[in-house]
């Protein structure tokens, strides 16, 4: 079948891309491997899974009736509510007729003779399309570490990102969780409620701030909805694309007194969520400022966890915000429970999994249920697992062998008419991703419209623009604390992956302005034919 745009993935990115591209008269089709729309919120359904950005901000802005009429029940929506929202959007905008579920893209090759993409899916069907939009999500390829003996484990092995749909009853079980990132921090308190014993294997202690979740305040909802468009516009001028109600302190962290600093941190701690990182504007760029914020959180951990030695083991030592901050409900307090044990595997890595537990530091730890909260092969994982080839048959995996070369985070030299949503080289990981999606999709729609109006068939990043962009992404990262820990932003969580800083840390407004300027300049840095 011949179509204008094939969209890979029916998460929030794919749904909006379909709606938007249709609205400008293009024949677009979504191919989705899962049996449902919803992407991340279809796959990640472990206990406690919920968004870490407030739902009034983590939601679509493109349609005023939608944002007025949809009501979120909580400040931070849970996974089931987010999945209902994705389904509502699919129905409301009549998207389903152009979505093929249970259809995994296995191959996509650019045919230079016809300037078309030839795509093959796992059911043997083939498709031809002028353009491809990859809406595969930066965090959709689960990372399962190659622990020796994993297959020998006698009980269930669960991964946070591939949770059984019928749920898991941990009642009376001896459970192990490997990992202490965002997924683990959300699930650990709830697993501890049910399990007989819970053992958490920690490689790196995490910073977690309280979500202060609860029912959505009707007054706040009414206030925001009274001028939702203005609220969204103000958010789009914020570094992270959200949080416009709370400006950072006017002065740098170390220029205020210790008392004032503490009061500012405390106020943000009480508000909850990411607001702590925005208390001062220099938290992520100044080492001393960062250290002050980090020490504030360590003080909180020491205040919550009653056993001082255990509290110290839970205190992170890397810069705060360097790995994505975790947003929790009762995480540190869970370690006060007598049936919960913390095992450090940072210095003494997990050696092997046995039928009844695992061995680390020469000692076997027993349990009957194993939960891997070990994260994702971020950004590049979803695309390098597709047989995706550009000009000259070059596989994307080869092109990205030393890191994900790209221009504006949207395009890759040698891969004409292919656009990546919220991929490496864009600010997606540091923003409310739906805001990032809308900016990307609108830019892509304008770009295709411009190309078609010009009578040209292909557009691709020039190698030169791509090289300069990647240099810029690295340069921006070097001004921040981000390179100073082993995060998924750097690929450092995946053994053998090149250590390259992948997202752009410039802030959303600077990035969006740059994308707009490139378009205004006739798609500067792109080659058209
Ligand atoms: P993650 O942040 O990458 O955490 C994975 C955890 O597994 C880390 O603690 C990591 O330790 C550990 N780990 C990995 N391999 C290991 C090994 N071989 N041995 C021992 N420990 C190992 O993954 P995630 O928690 O799934 O979160 C990923 C991202 O998804 C988040 O940063 C966030 O952007 C998003 N997310 C958001 C929410 C939310 O609150 N809305 C919830 C879940 C996920 P190291 O730290 O030492 O690498």
Host H or E run for residue 87? helix 79-92
CA 65 to mean position of chain CA atoms: 27
Tell me the average pLDDT across 248-253: 97
Q: Is the pLDDT of residue 41 over 80?
A: yes
CA of 402 to the centre of ligand 1 (A): 23
**pLDDT per position as a tens digit, 279-291:** 999 999 999 999 9
Buried b / exposed e along 316-333 (16+ C-beta atoms within 10 A): bebbbbbbbbbbbbbbbe
Task: Please tell me the distance from the alpha carbon of residue 75 to that of residue 222, in angstroms, as a whole number.
Answer: 13
- 78 forms beta bridges with 50
Residue 158 Cα to ligand 1 midpoint, Å, equals 14
Tell me how far apart the alpha carbons of residues 260 and 255 are, in angstroms, rounded to a whole number. 10
Taking residues 397-420, what's their average pLDDT?
98
pLDDT at 2 over 70: no
416 lines ligand 1 (CB under 6 A): no
Q: Please, what is the end-to-end C-alpha distance for the chain in angstroms?
A: 24
DSSP 8-state class, residue 170: -
Q: Which helix (H) or strand (E) holds 304?
A: helix 287-304
Query: Looking only at Cα atoms, what is the longest distance across the chain?
Result: 70
Query: Is the CB of 493 within 6 Å of ligand 1?
Result: yes
Beta strands in 305-456 (DSSP E): 326-328, 340-344, 350-354, 357-360, 363-366, 369-372, 387-389, 418-420
Q: Per-residue pLDDT for 127 more than 70?
A: yes
Q: What is the pLDDT of residue 322?
A: 97
Query: What's the rounded Cα separation, in Å, for the pair 116 and 241?
Result: 35
Confidence of residue 134 (pLDDT cuts 50, 70, 90): very high
**Ligand 1 contact via 243 beta carbon (within 6 Å):** no
Q: How much is the pLDDT for 328?
A: 97
H or E element, residue 118: strand 116-121
Average pLDDT over residues 74-91: 98
Q: Tell me, in angstroms, the distance from the centre of ligand 1 to residue 160's CA.
A: 10
State in Å: Cα 15 to ligand 1 middle.
Answer: 26
Q: Is the pLDDT of residue 199 over 80?
A: yes
Q: Which residue has the tokens 């994900």?
A: 404
433-463 residue pLDDT tens:
999 999 999 999 999 999 999 999 999 999 9
Q: How far is CA 240 from CA 234, 341, 492, 493, 509, in A?
A: 11, 36, 23, 24, 8
pLDDT of residue 113: 97
Please state the rounded mean pLDDT for residues 192-214: 98
Q: Number of helices (H) and strands (E) in the chain: give both, helices first.
A: 16, 20
d(CA 265, CA 281): 12
Average pLDDT across the chain, whole number:
97
Strand partners, 231: none
Cα pseudo-dihedral 153, 159, 164, 170, rounded to 10: 70
Q: Is the pLDDT of residue 1 over 80?
A: no
Residues near 193 by Cβ (< 8 Å), separated by ≥ 6? none
d(CA 410, CA 515): 9
CA distance 116 to 8: 16
CA nearest ligand 1 atom 41, residue? 51
User: What percent of the chain has pLDDT above 70?
Assistant: 100
pLDDT by residue (tens digit) across 466-493? 999 999 999 999 999 999 999 999 999 9
* pLDDT tens digits along 507-517: 999 999 999 99
Which of 187, 375, 428 to mutate for ligand 1's pocket (most ligand atoms within 8 Å of CB)?
375
- Phi, psi dihedral angles at 201 (to 5 degrees): -100, 110
State the pLDDT at residue 4.
Answer: 98
**pLDDT 10s digits, 415-429:** 999 999 999 999 999
Q: Residue 58 in contact with residue 432, Cβ under 8 Å?
A: yes
- Residue 489 CA to ligand 1 center (angstroms) comes to 11
pLDDT of residue 230: 98
Per residue in 344-364, pLDDT (tens digit) is 999 999 999 999 999 999 999
Phi first, then psi: what are they for 120, rounded to 5°?
-120, 135
Q: Is the dihedral of CA 475, 478, 484, 485 positive or negative?
A: negative
Atom of ligand 1 nearest to the CA of 161: 26
**Ligand 1 site, residue 142, Cβ cutoff 6 A:** no
pLDDT in tens, 519-529: 999 999 999 99
What's the confidence (pLDDT) of residue 493? Answer: 96
Q: What is the C-alpha radius of gyration for the chain, rounded to an integer number of angstroms?
A: 23
Ligand 1 pocket residue status of 345, Cβ below 6 Å: yes
Q: How confident is the model at residue 257 (pLDDT cuts 50, 70, 90)?
A: very high
pLDDT for the residue numbered 381? 97
> What's the CA-to-centroid distance between 184 and ligand 1, angstroms?
7
Quote the Cα angle for 295-298-301, to 5°. 160
Closest CA to 170 of 145, 185, 186, 189: 189
Percent of the chain topping pLDDT 90: 100
Written as six digits, the tokens of 86 are: 């994705």
Distance CA 267, CA 306 (A): 23
- Under DSSP, is residue 72 helix (H, G, I), strand (E, B) or coil? coil
Answer yes or no: is the C-beta of 208 below 6 A from any ligand 1 atom. no
Quick one: pLDDT band at residue 144, thresholds 50, 70, 90? Answer: very high
Centre of ligand 1 from the C-alpha of residue 183, in Å: 6
Which atom belonging to ligand 1 lies closest to the Cα atom of 346?
47
């Amino acid at each position: 079948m011949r179509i204008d745009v094939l969209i890979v993935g029916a998460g929030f990115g794919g749904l909006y891309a379909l709606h938007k591209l249709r609205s400008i008269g293009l024949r677009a089709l979504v191919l989705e491997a899962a049996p449902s729309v919803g992407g991340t919120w279809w796959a990640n359904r472990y206990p406690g899974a919920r968004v870490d950005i407030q739902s009034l901000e983590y939601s679509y802005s493109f349609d005023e009736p939608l944002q007025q009429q949809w009501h979120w029940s909580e400040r931070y929506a849970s996974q089931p509510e987010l999945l209902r929202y994705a389904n509502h959007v699919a129905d409301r905008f009549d998207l389903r007729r152009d979505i093929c579920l249970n259809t995994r893209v296995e191959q996509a090759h650019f045919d230079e003779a016809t300037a078309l993409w030839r795509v093959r899916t796992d059911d043997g069907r083939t498709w031809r399309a002028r353009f491809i939009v990859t809406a595969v999500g930066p965090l959709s390829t689960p990372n399962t570490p190659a622990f020796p003996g994993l297959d020998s484990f006698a009980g269930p092995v669960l991964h946070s990102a591939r949770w059984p749909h019928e749920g898991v009853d941990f009642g009376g079980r001896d459970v192990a969780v490997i990992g202490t990132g965002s997924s683990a921090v959300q699930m650990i308190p709830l697993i501890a409620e049910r399990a007989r014993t819970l053992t958490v294997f920690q490689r790196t202690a995490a910073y977690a701030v309280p979500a202060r979740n609860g029912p959505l305040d009707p007054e706040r909802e009414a206030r925001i909805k009274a001028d939702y468009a203005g609220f969204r516009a103000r958010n789009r001028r914020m570094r992270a694309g959200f949080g416009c109600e709370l400006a950072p302190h006017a002065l740098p962290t170390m220029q205020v007194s210790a008392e004032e600093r503490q009061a500012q941190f405390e106020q943000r701690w009480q508000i909850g969520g990411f607001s702590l990182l925005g208390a001062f504007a220099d938290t992520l760029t100044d080492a001393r400022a960062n250290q002050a914020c980090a020490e504030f959180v360590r003080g909180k951990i020491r205040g919550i966890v009653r056993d001082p030695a255990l509290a110290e083991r839970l205190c992170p030592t890397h810069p705060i915000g360097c790995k994505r901050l975790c947003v929790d409900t009762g995480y540190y307090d869970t370690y006060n429970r007598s049936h919960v044990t913390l095992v450090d595997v940072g210095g003494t890595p997990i050696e092997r999994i046995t039928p009844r537990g695992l061995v680390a530091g020469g000692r076997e730890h027993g349990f009957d249920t194993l939960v891997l909260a070990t994260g994702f092969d971020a950004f590049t994982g979803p695309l390098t697992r597709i047989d995706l080839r550009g000009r000259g048959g070059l596989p994307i995996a080869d092109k990205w062998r030393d890191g994900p070369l790209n221009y504006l985070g949207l395009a890759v030299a040698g891969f004409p008419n292919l656009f990546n949503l919220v991929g490496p080289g864009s600010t997606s990981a540091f923003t409310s991703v739906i805001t990032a999606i809308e900016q990307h999709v609108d830019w892509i729609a304008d770009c295709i419209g411009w190309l078609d109006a010009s009578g040209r068939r292909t557009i691709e990043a020039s190698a030169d623009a791509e090289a300069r962009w990647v240099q810029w992404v690295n340069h921006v990262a070097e001004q921040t604390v981000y390179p100073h820990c082993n995060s998924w932003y750097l690929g450092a969580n995946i053994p053998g992956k090149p250590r390259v800083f992948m997202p752009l840390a410039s802030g959303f407004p600077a990035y969006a302005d740059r994308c707009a300027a490139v378009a205004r300049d006739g798609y500067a840095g792109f080659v058209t034919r």
